[in-house]
Structure 1
Amino acid sequence: MNFRKQHSIEPTPMQLAPLVDVLFLLVIFFAVTSHYAKNEQVMDISVPAADEKEEKDERFRNVGEIIINIKSGGEIIVNGQQLTEDELLVKLKNITSMYKDQAVILRGDRVSNFQYVINVLDACQKAGIYNIAFATQKPETEAPKN
């Protein structure tokens, strides 16, 4: 004897509040990451290609790396600011006084004069920075000809 009434279970409507929350989080995430990605993409610098490029997983752990862009005319750009060699030296000395093992990434344009890169390396050495990396890109491979 079963006295209970059989009720069909109605499907619950889709919850929109969690979906909207997730979408807002995604928008915020992409907005923040695109802001930080602009630091390397703002400059119109074409870095040289290298056959062997060391992929550095630890690069993403070094949040305080300084990216120094050297344009083809010798202009030095750090964090969107154009600096002279003397201003760069002062900035690097101030940073190394607080952080002894400061990392620097040099992004020199492939058509720039090599002397500009040497001048920036000299400023890094005078400031006591020896953890220097050069930014390169993978060479473009040509499609095989049939």
Structure 2
Amino acid sequence: MKFSSRQPEAANMQLAPMIDIVFLLLIFFIVTWQFTRSETELDVSVPTAQEGADPERQRGEIVINILGDGAIRIEGTSVDLSQLLEKLSSIASQFENQPVRIRGDGGVEYQRIVEVIDTCQKAGIWNISFATQRPTPSQ
């Protein structure tokens, strides 16, 4: 009696779906990197400080940029204090202990910074931090 041994067929690995997933992940990370980069205005020169917290952002942190001329920008759009209050109030009602980072230009008037802080507190946001940079080492 002759027995036939059946070998299972070799499993073929499909590369096309794997390549699709890799490209989708790549696109996702590039897009999210671009969004976080746009939140920090490049023309804001934050003040320097010897001691300060790490520049790492907290999860879900909102970045408020205050330009040298006193203009307020959040998420790439210019807003006034009433629009800022409306936006922050809606966010604070959804997320408890919402973190906010204020990036004020070193030359901006202190009163403008206080107005933004006051607006954050009116909206119910108390978790506020300030962006600084380390001074350049002197030669």
TM-score under structure 1 normalisation? 0.72
Q: Match for residue 14 of structure 1?
A: none
Unaligned runs of 5+ in 2: 1-14
The aligned length equals 123
For residues 69-88 of structure 1, the aligned pairs below 5 Å read 69-88=65-84
Query: In the alignment, residue 78 of structure 2 is paired with which amino acid?
Result: Q
Structure 1 vs Structure 2 CA RMSD: 2.4
Query: In the alignment, residue 124 of structure 1 is paired with which amino acid?
Result: C
Alpha-carbon spacing, 1:37–1:92, altered in 2? closer, same or farther (3 Å): closer
Which runs of 4 or more aligned residues in structure 1 lie more than 3 Å from their structure 2 counterparts after TM superposition?
A: 23-30, 40-43
Moved more, 36-45 or 118-127: 36-45
Is 1:124 the counterpart of 2:120 in the alignment?
yes
Match of 2:105 among 98, 109, 112: 109
Query: In the alignment, residue 81 of structure 1 is paired with which amino acid?
Result: T
For residues 26-105 of structure 1, the aligned pairs below 5 Å read 28=27, 31-55=30-54, 59-60=57-58, 62=59, 64-105=60-101
CA deviation profile, 1:42-89 (whole Å, cap 9, x unmatched): 4410000010122266x34x1x11100001111110000100101101
How much identity, in percent, do the aligned residues show?
43
Could you tell me how far apart the structure 2 residues matched to 1:40 and 1:90 are? Answer: 19
Task: Give the superposition deviation at 1:26.
Answer: 8.5
* Equivalent pair of 2:49/2:134 in contact (CA under 8 Å): yes
